[in-house]
């Protein structure tokens, strides 16, 4: 093999090695780069439309807070499993209600979702 061929092979292998390192660092720092995300929130098993009027006084809220270490629902800490799934039931007051979900990750980044609900008491 000629000297030019050996140099080309060395440069190619070195380039592949550095590319591997860059890809590895990206995947290891993925949580830091993209932070915490609240996803797949469902209220009573369906996706929710803002300002929706409901006729029942309790709601079952489920979802996922990816990369979260702390999750609050209306200012009250709720539990999450290791994959970030949460499952909680709340009571509504008559009239306008705001449901606030706030997630915090280990780097103190936050994500927050707000849902407006109108509870109409038919009594």
pLDDT at residue 41 is higher than 70? yes
- What is the β-pairing status of strands 76-78 and 110-119? unpaired
Domain that holds residue 14: 1-34
**What is the CATH number for 82?**
2.60.40.10
Task: Please tell me the chain's helix, strand, coil percentages from 3-state DSSP, rounded to the nearest 5.
Answer: 25, 45, 30
Q: Are residues 30 and 40 in the same domain?
A: no
Q: Are residues 89 and 41 in the same domain?
A: yes
pLDDT of 123: 64
The whole-model pTM stands at: 0.72
Q: Are residues 40 and 29 in the same domain?
A: no
Q: Are residues 28 and 45 in the same domain?
A: no
Cα 109 to chain centroid, rounded: 11
pLDDT of 89: 93
Q: Are residues 13 and 51 in the same domain?
A: no
> Number of structural domains, the chain?
2
- Rounded mean pLDDT of 80-95? 91
Q: Are residues 26 and 43 in the same domain?
A: no
Q: Are residues 67 and 13 in the same domain?
A: no
Q: Are residues 58 and 112 in the same domain?
A: yes
pLDDT of 61: 92
Evaluate the CA torsion angle 36, 62, 95, 91 in order and state its sign: negative
């Amino acid at each position: 093999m000629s000297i030019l061929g050996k140099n080309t092979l060395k440069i190619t292998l070195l380039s592949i090695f550095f590319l591997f390192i860059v890809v590895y660092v990206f995947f290891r720092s993925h949580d830091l780069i993209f932070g915490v995300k609240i996803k797949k929130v469902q209220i009573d098993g369906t996706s929710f439309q803002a300002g929706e009027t409901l006729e029942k006084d309790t709601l079952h809220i489920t979802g996922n807070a990816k990369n979260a270490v702390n999750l609050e629902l209306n200012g009250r800490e709720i539990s999450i499993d290791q994959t970030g799934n949460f499952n909680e039931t709340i009571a509504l007051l008559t009239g306008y209600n705001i449901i606030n979900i706030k997630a915090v990750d280990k780097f103190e980044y936050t994500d927050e979702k707000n849902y407006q609900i109108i509870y109409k008491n038919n009594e």
